[in-house]
Amino acid sequence: MSEMIESKDLQQNSASFEELKNKYAMLQHENEILTAKLKWYEEQYKLNQAKRFGKSSDTVPTEQISFLNEAEIAQRPEAEEPELEKIVYERKKRKRGTNKDSFADLPVERIEYDLPIDEQICPVCNGTMHSMSEEVRRELKVIPAQVSIVEHVRKIYTCRACEKAEEKAPIITAPMPAPVISGSFLSPSLLAFIMHQKYVAALPLHRQEQIFKEYGIDISRQNMANWIIKGAELWLEPLYDRMHQYLLKETFLHVDESPMRVLTKDGKPTDSKAYMWLYATGRYGRKMALYEYQPSRSGKHAKRFLEGYSGLLQSDDYSGYNSVENVIRVGCFAHARRYYTDALKAIPKGVSIESTYAHQALEFFKKLFTLESQWNELSAEKRYENRLKESKPILEAYLSWLQEAEPKVVKKSKLGQAIAYSLSNWELLTNYLKDGQCELSNNRAERAIKPFVIGRKNFLFAKSPHGAKASAIAYSIAESAKLNGLNTFYYMKYLFEQLPNTRLDRPEALDHLLPWSEEIPAECKLQKKL
């Protein structure tokens, strides 16, 4: 009987032990889930703080990472001590004051200060004094913008002899340039100035209206908006279309897109988020950046704009670009690196940065970007050869590191997302090895779209799709001018002088006005630094 009781007690104890074991396993699993969630929330909080108060750059300087052991890392026992004389003579002398190269071509106004004749007498011997030397002080003088009225007067001729003979007298009128907008007092320089202020200086029209009032000129923002739209439609759009034709002949392009707000006719925001798309050429092609407004982020817009294009297309990992036909997509290592820098910003205090996986990954990126910076001046063919020789082994090592690190990190963490991004986009990222025209990152497109992003912060929204399209055209002309080393104001002024007097039905007739044309006047070109 006692044996049966003992057996029953053992079974109950065994059952309760299994129960406790299962409960412990369940609690441990719940604890792991809660710990992962807590770490995720901590990451989000730290990353948000870094975005609000930290630097916007995604680079992490080695000096910042290894601040405490900087001396140990930077030491080079084999390095020779520099001589003081060498330091003095090799130090680059900075130009100060009005001796800068950019001031070299400015007109000089000379104001002389001299002693009256009766004061040019020596106070000691009463003899006549002579000029020994001059003391010169140079300063920059600013002349505020001046507004004037230009009257275009053309003569009309007829024949008095024919009039006296009572014959039909011929009437001949002197030629005169066509106006920018018929029936308006708008001049090429005024329209160029308004567009330059809005699309280059990011100055909204209501602020321009206030500035004109300070000059004593009453020009409403409504008038300026109408001029911009008409000027873009009548004259800049044909040039934009011609540039688009040349863009499609390229073999490598950067693309990007950025959201914007556009109001409907009744002044209310549209239901869907509108986008400004950007298409820019690479360093080896004709220099241009074309913007296009579209009411959505659908890939069909990129497909339509790039219809007829065949080549390489560099962008982020947005899947909408998959709809573009006849292209090889190329990824962006700057986007991949950004995930790791975000992970570094989110690590808790007290954790050694050097020991994190994110820091290990960034070392691969550092090597790749360092190599690319050394090849900026090389041809596309030479860059292709160098990449296969030097960059490809680094990429292979990075892939091995990714495969080894992936199972060791929490997938939902910033580090887990960084690793997942590189692995899921590996083909896109490594496609840059296929052609020397490709870049390691899509930063060229991000730099080109930045003026629009800065302007968007000031303008907040476009009042209509009509205005958004005009802005896209104006941004395209302005940014393409900058890429070709042109002064945007003088170039736009030149366009508004020439285009009203050019046959727009013949696209090839516009070639001499394109921003890379050698026929662009010297006054439109920026002064090159010596």
**Residue pLDDT, tens place only, 70-115:** 344 444 555 555 554 554 445 555 566 666 666 777 788 888 888 8
The least confident of 114-123, 259-268, 409-418, 440-449 is 259-268
Average pLDDT over residues 283-309: 95
Q: Strands 171-173 and 252-260: what pairing?
A: unpaired
Q: What is the mean pLDDT of the chain?
A: 83
- Per-residue model confidence (pLDDT) at position 401: 95
CA separation for the pair 268, 262 (Å, rounded): 9
- Torsion sign (Cα): 335, 336, 341, 344: positive
Among 34-38, 213-217, 390-394, top mean pLDDT goes to 390-394
Q: Strands 327-330 and 311-314: what pairing?
A: parallel
3-state secondary structure of 108: coil
Beta-ladder partners of 278:
256, 291
The least confident of 89-93, 233-237, 353-357, 483-487 is 89-93
Ordered by start, the domain boundaries in the chain are: 192-326+445-530, 332-441
Predicted structure pTM score: 0.78
Average pLDDT over residues 427-433: 96
Higher pLDDT, 346 or 79: 346
Residues contacting 224, CB < 8 A, separation 6+: 194, 205, 208, 209
CA separation for the pair 320, 302 (Å, rounded): 8
The answer on pLDDT for 143 being more than 70 is: yes
* 299 and 313 Cβ atoms separated by less than 8 Å: no
Q: At 363, which helix (H) or strand (E)?
A: helix 357-374
* 314 and 254 Cβ atoms separated by less than 8 Å: yes
Closest to 291 (Cα-Cα) out of 230, 335, 247: 247
Higher pLDDT, 96 or 247: 247
Distances in Å between the Cα of 508 and the Cα atoms of 231, 245, 272, 418, 518 are 21, 11, 38, 48, 15
The answer on pLDDT for 64 being more than 60 is: no
Closest to 255 (Cα-Cα) out of 308, 337, 331: 331
Confidence band, pLDDT 50/70/90 cuts, at residue 5? low
- Letter string b/e over residues 177-203, b meaning 16 or more CB atoms within 10 A of that residue's CB: eeebbeeeebbbbbbbbbbbbbbbebb
Average pLDDT over residues 421-442: 95
Higher pLDDT, 340 or 346: 340
Higher pLDDT, 9 or 465: 465
* 487 and 179 Cβ atoms separated by less than 8 Å: no
Average pLDDT over residues 239-255: 97
Residue 202 φ/ψ region, left for φ over 0, alpha for ψ in the -120 to 50 degree band, beta for the rest: left
Average pLDDT over residues 126-133: 86
Confidence band, pLDDT 50/70/90 cuts, at residue 68? very low
**End-to-end Cα distance, the chain:** 109
- Per-residue model confidence (pLDDT) at position 387: 96
Average pLDDT over residues 155-176: 84
The answer on pLDDT for 261 being more than 70 is: yes
The answer on pLDDT for 210 being more than 90 is: yes
